[in-house]
Amino acid sequence: MPLRVVEVHQNILRKNSTMARELRERFERNGTYVINLLSSPGAGKTTLLEETLRRLGDRYRVAALVGDQATDLDAARLRRSGAPVEQIVTGAECRLDAQMVTAALRDFDATAVELLAIENVGNLICPAEYDLGEDLRVVVFSTTEGEDKPLKYPLAFATAHLAIISKTDLAAAAGFDRASAKANIERVHPGIEIVEVSALRGDGMDEWIDCLDRRIASKRVLV
Amino acid sequence: MPLRVVEVHQNILRKNSTMARELRERFERNGTYVINLLSSPGAGKTTLLEETLRRLGDRYRVAALVGDQATDLDAARLRRSGAPVEQIVTGAECRLDAQMVTAALRDFDATAVELLAIENVGNLICPAEYDLGEDLRVVVFSTTEGEDKPLKYPLAFATAHLAIISKTDLAAAAGFDRASAKANIERVHPGIEIVEVSALRGDGMDEWIDCLDRRIASKRVLV
């Protein structure tokens, strides 16, 4: 990249860090646990999130923010879970940033939210650079994408706290090599927790929900 | 976006257009037909391209450029077709641009190449803004990604000359609604040619190869 472009980019990331820190402090004050979901387009984030909100909606006050380049299709899907959902249309931008999240939070009362799920724009590259003040960054990677994706998009996997292998119902049809996929995730991020789910069939959803419960509880103890 | 960022971005796109025009003139002089493949990560670009180069390698002098954020895994796969392949590692960049293509062409004799296939970085957003001097922009969209993707990533579909629905072998397992997917492509880009393939099984490959042949031939008549 030319020097001037690098500078502008670094400025943007610096500003984002500052705003993300403010968001994190605010979430802390409000007792809100925040997850940021990253993946390719079509890896199954929305289906997973819809099911997650449905399962957790009776135990926590949940809400969701959804980033999308052009439509509010995902927000409409997520609203079926009963949770309040705010859509962020990003236009030419390939990711959410802390400023967009801050602006979206103006539109609804986030002080009472206990679990805020942010569904990022479908993109394995740009979103990885932007902290949104989340507690848990989750990278979702579907069995139909090919086992090499963690090596090809390392930043998303390296910066995530948890990896979800999604669409396990399609694993056999896609000839998915589970061992190789897990080895590739491990290579980019040694020791990262990996959960395998089919949000459609429900397989692995209990494990994922338990894992979220555990993390929310341990944050409450720490705060 | 803040004004300064918009300006820098527009400058980048303007510079890219100039370099893309130079590339296009050069490809014209050399009689090289160029395709630029765009898709999400894991939509099947590499498998499709490997099979395409294999099938066309005895009729045209073929070569490929492959963009990837971090690895040369795809280049290694494409080289199995016997074609010369140049890898472009893009690092933090989320797409190829005309400058990267120009630089990559320095490394091999492109004057004799009749068909140059450029596999872009797996990303449905950023690559759509960057002209690479191609004759044919192809957007690849797999049956496992969900039928709504054309609406969610309209620029990729609107700027493409041809859409490929890939992984048709997984359509049934994924519950893919073909009519709805095609209607969504049509909505974003009325009249665009759509080819359905399974590069793995070979279904639709003859149609795709015919389609390329036709377009290469008609360009030769025009030049």
CATH number, residue B49: 3.40.50.300
ipTM for the predicted complex comes to 0.84
What is the domain extent for residue B26? 2-222
- Sign of CA pseudo-dihedral A122, A125, A130, A135: positive
Q: Report pLDDT for B1.
A: 61
Answer whether residue A223 shows pLDDT above 60: no
B158 touches chain A (CB under 8 A): no
User: How many CB atoms are closer than 10 A to CB B119?
Assistant: 28
* Cβ separation A144–B167 shorter than 8 A: yes
Closest CA to A157 of B215, A119, A165: A165
Q: Report pLDDT for A50.
A: 96
Q: Where are the alpha helices (DSSP H) in chain A?
A: 3-30, 45-56, 73-79, 98-105, 149-152, 154-159, 171-174, 178-188, 205-222
Mapped onto helix, strand or coil, the DSSP state of residue B150 is helix
* Predicted TM-score (pTM) of this structure: 0.90
Cα–Cα dist B147/A145, whole Å: 16
For chain A, what is the domain count? 1
Q: Report pLDDT for B7.
A: 83
Mean pLDDT of the region B208-221: 91
Segment A78-107, tens digit of pLDDT:
999 999 999 999 988 899 999 999 999 997
- Give the mean pLDDT of chain B: 94
| Beta carbons within 8 Å of A196's beta carbon, 6+ residues apart | A164, A165, A168, A178, A203, A204
Q: Are B92 and B68 in contact (CB under 8 A)?
A: no
Of B1, B152, B167, Cβ closest to residue A71: B152
B19 Cα to chain A: minimum distance (Å): 15
Contact list in A for residue B142 (CB cut-off 8 A) is 42, 144
CA angle B112, B103, A1 (to 5 degrees): 160
Segment A154-208, tens digit of pLDDT:
999 999 999 999 999 999 999 999 999 999 999 999 999 999 999 999 999 999 9
Q: Where are the beta strands (DSSP E) in chain B?
A: 33-39, 62-68, 85-89, 115-119, 136-142, 162-166, 193-196
Q: What are the DSSP calls for A106-122, one per residue? A: TTS--TT-SEEEEE--S
Closest CA to A64 of A78, A51, A54, A77: A78
Q: Report pLDDT for A1.
A: 61
- Which tokens belong to B30? 């050399």
- Give the mean pLDDT of chain A: 94
A106 touches chain B (CB under 8 A): no
Segment B87-108, tens digit of pLDDT:
999 988 899 999 999 999 997 7
Q: Are B194 and B184 in contact (CB under 8 A)?
A: no
Contact list in B for residue A153 (CB cut-off 8 A) is 41, 69-70, 122
